[in-house]
Amino acid sequence: MITRRPHVALLAASLVLTGCGGGAVATPERRPPATTSIRLAPPVSLEVAPRQLPGLGPKTGAKVPDDARQAVVVTGRGKNSSRSTVVLYERTDAGWQAGETWPAHNALRGWSDHHRAGDLRSPIGVFRLTDAGGRLRDPGTRLPYDHGTGFTATGTGFEGEPLAGSFDYVIAINYNREPGTSPLDWTRPLGAGRGGGIWLHVDHDGPTQGCVSLAEEHMKELLLALDPARRPVVVMGDADSLAR
């Protein structure tokens, strides 16, 4: 993961010597002394890390816990769009520092602020990230990781794309689930009707049923970056909803 640091420019000064030019004259002539002028570079504005997560309005921003030092921000293109972008932010003493921007998919029909089972929309909100797993072995994440064949994906997606490998790496989003359990755990505190099993997982080049999917290399980067000691959360929704 690349952490952007404020760029500090050094103040530069250039010396410009001015004087009179003379032709080829046999008789020496008195010339005025050379003068020196100093041109100072204009002031440089230092990049300042934002104190609030970019793109969030007061309502959404208030839901981000004060103890969260990492935030995965998933911004959908539109309320009914299945395309989104993902940025991992790290909170420092100077403010929130952004990592790379990654393309992603979300649910086929976009987003909902009252997700229901089978509505084919991803839930809008701020949720903790506490547990991970996958069909592939733990790549070295600090999150608890459940490795097993239960993460095998089969069949095809909404656009006919194969789903194989989609659950090679997953991070459970704590929407309607019991924290501290495997992503495969089916406990639903809000009831089965409110859906569940919402994950960050490997992208299969098509819309999801409710999850957010990233390229495998980016999922692996995210797993390696997330630290439970930094109390990570995911902030997810379409851009207009997040801006409220």
Contacts of 234 (CB under 8 A, 6+ apart): 71, 72, 73, 74, 126, 127, 129, 173, 200, 212
Distance between the two ends of the chain, CA-based, in angstroms? 29
8, part of any domain: no
Rounded to whole angstroms, how far apart are CA atoms 135 and 151?
Answer: 5
What pLDDT score was predicted for residue 48?
Answer: 58
Helical residues (DSSP H) of 62-140, grouped into ranges: none
Number of structural domains, the chain?
1
Contacts of 137 (CB under 8 A, 6+ apart): 147
119, part of any domain: yes
163, part of any domain: yes
pLDDT higher than 90, residue 59: yes
What pLDDT score was predicted for residue 206?
Answer: 98
Rounded to whole angstroms, how far apart are CA atoms 204 and 214?
Answer: 8
CA 208 to chain centre: 19
Contacts of 207 (CB under 8 A, 6+ apart): 82, 105, 106, 107, 108, 120, 157, 158, 159
Domain of residue 63: give its range. Answer: 58-242
The pTM of the full predicted model, rounded to 2 decimals, is: 0.80
Amino acid type, 239: A
Strand 122-123, strand 233-238: pairing: unpaired
Rounded to whole angstroms, how far apart are CA atoms 218 and 213?
Answer: 10
Nearest CA to 214 out of 97, 74, 115 is that of 74
Q: Considering Cα of 221, then 65, then 85, then 76, what sign does the dihedral take?
A: positive
Mean pLDDT of 35-58: 63
197, part of any domain: yes
28, part of any domain: no
pLDDT higher than 50, residue 5: no
Strand 35-40, strand 212-214: pairing: unpaired
pLDDT digits (tens, 9 = 90+) for 159-195: 999 999 999 999 999 999 999 999 999 999 999 999 9
205, part of any domain: yes
216, part of any domain: yes
What pLDDT score was predicted for residue 50?
Answer: 77
18, part of any domain: no
